[in-house]
Structure 1
Amino acid sequence: MKTLTFPLLLVTSLGLTGPAVAQNDFGDILSGVARTMVEQELEKTAFAQAQSANTAEAYRNYLSRFPNGANRANAERALARLGGSVIPGQPSPPPVSGPIAGNTRPASVEAQIGLSRTQRMQLQTQLTKLGYPTGGADGLWGSNTRAAIGRWQSANNLPATGYVTTQQVRLIAQQAGPVAGTPPPGGSDTVDDRTEEQLLSLTAEERRDIQRRLTRLGYRTGGIDGVFGAGTRRALASWQRDEGLRASGYITADQLRELRRQTG
């Protein structure tokens, strides 16, 4: 049997006292802290119900009840994914079913280059040679590599996004000079997301955390069990597709940071 939290038990006990407890006396009985806890619990339950239904109407109902709720951004994102508008009657955008056309977000622009892990390793070597150390050439572009790219971009009077474009890949190669085994950018060898996910060495709790975050954004994984089965792979691929990334179903270091950013 599910254990009720203190605020819900308090509300339940008050409700059982009958009409003797008037509505305008409610505020006198509950302290401000308790009221806040009750509201948070109700908001959390309402969002969970919207996720379970996973319809535009359900998310709109949540937003109408809790316009400033903690999950407002997640509900609006889910609405956009389902092709619904926040306010009924407004024109609805088409459902997102593929890569976002013309997506100019730096991460999406870089993803469209299709750098292989070998190419990423070579770029790390080139940046280090130019005086922007990346902390190692492993093909996993973590915070050190992103910072190195940003510093190189600033030094070359470019927007310091930390994500490269095709032109910038070429410019880095020109400035660094020959590096043994450097393949041309944009080759047929695509990034091995499966290998990168394996190299992340995610623990069971980290996998459960990813599943919880995907579910919170409206991408149902089929369970929070720490096992990346077909349901989790589909949820990851759907999230990647909506973000304008390659829908591999395997999460990379960059994508893990973005998923955590989106879910706080």
Structure 2
Amino acid sequence: MPPQTGRPWMTTRIFALLTAAILSATPVWGQSGTALIVANEDYTELRNARGSGAMVQLERILGGAAFDVDIATNLSANAMRAALSTLSASLRDDGHERVVILFSGYTVSAGGTVWLMGTDSRAPDMASVEGYGVRLDTVLSIAGQIQGGAIVALADYGFPDDLDGGFRGGLPPMIEVPQGVTLVRGSSVGVAAVLRDVSAPGTTVGDAAAGRSDVTLDGFNPPYLAFLPDGTSPAPAPAPDRSQEDRVAWQTARDLGTVEGYDAYLSAYPQGAFVAEARAARQQLMNTPERIEAALGLSRDERRAIQRDLTILNFDPRGIDGIFGSGTRGAIRSWQGRNDIAVTGYLDRDQIFRLAQQGARRAAELEEEARARAAEQERQDRQFWRDTGSGQDEVGMRAYLERFPDGIFAPVAQDRLAQIEAQRREAAQARDRAAWDQAAQADTIAAYQGYLQANPDGAFAEQARGRIEELRRPAPPEVDYAAAQAEEDLMRLPTFTRVIVEQRLERLGLEPGPADGVFDDDTRRAIRRYQRRADLPVTGFLTQPIVARLLAEGVVDILR
């Protein structure tokens, strides 16, 4: 028995194979060897490898050819290592003459090295790839313990996510295979057909793969040496009942009820009595919403764009990360219900275009609303500046800064007030200055009144009166800047996204400073200006909806 791991082992003999009747017509006596089938379909962080689970059908084929078969489904990388370790020990100690190792699932490659990915995988980098996958070299080396009687089969599904750092999804064109090992790679249907045919005594691997454009052979491929030799049964087998085989295979395909099951039937019986029914059933399955979306092959960036559109339309996907989890599926269902579309949680091409158009229109509306608010705020800003003396009156400048702390003329007012303060300090007597510093440090109405009582004509008298008036006004609502900063920090915006935000703020005329990805005081002031325009809480820190709206600029520009 294989070792216990974090993923359940599946060693029960469960699926009746489409080719069971063929195999049952050729009894095999004794044990031909050992086989390990690893079928990874349900990935935790990635799209499922649809069809990989159907590879467990091969257990019946190999079992019928007298192989001792272990099936392991949905294994993490560590669980795959444990299964291979058990197999390696069996090959070393139990005297097997043949071995078949089948992996079905996602693969990645870099620099000629291939990794078979566990179900706990994510998009890898050089630091994490060994934890996410098992090297193909390791599998080939284990099989190489039985030279001339070893087949490694890969039903390769590539990789469903964007990769960088030199990685690519799928297998490279050339793979170095150890001496005496045969590598079979291709589609799940093609690999299943080759293993089915080569399980018949007297069949070479080359004959089994002949004429199949969806399968490639590498390594050991002798033209006259059958994988299972003839003469393994004591007497010639009777001719099989082909109609019975057809019926058994069709019933098996119906019991499985999967696209892969019907594909296997159609591959084995292209002229079978149930071809029309198999094609119709397969077509019906291919038309499910989940498969229609999967067939689009959406990239990570395309998924992010869909999540941005949902966010702009106020359907919260709980993140713009390119991963369609429960939050995104719920947002899609809500959007579909709002638009009188069948609620499935999955999108087809027309729905994606419709969503993108709605998102672009809403982004344009939001931008127009922000532009109108900005124009009105600028009008009010300029009018208030004029009404308060256009920077010629200290009280007026302080009143302006209180109402428009990031206004058009805020830098001018701040510079002039700083100059006035410097001039006062130079002219003030040491005693007056000390009294003012004491009052300013206390910053209370009583302290300023005390200063005025002692220095009615002091250099800071007007400033004290202005501060008393400010302190008497109702305090504005307190803003939780720490929480706002924490919310921005949680997004972990990459530098390129920060640069795009600064570029967008600059195009809006909000003066964020250099577009260098560093959020300095100028950037924070520009964000506050944007929040005022958009009638949002003014914190100077970004939120996910604000980022989505700013990044939607590209879509708006395309529509203009």
TM-score bracket for the superposition, by shorter chain length: 0.3 to 0.5
Of structures 1 and 2, the one scoring higher in RCO (CA 8 A, sep 6+) is 1
Which structure has the highest strand share of the two?
2
Instruction: Look at both structures and tell me which one has the larger radius of gyration over its CA atoms.
Output: 2
What TM-score results when the alignment is normalised by the length of structure 2? 0.20
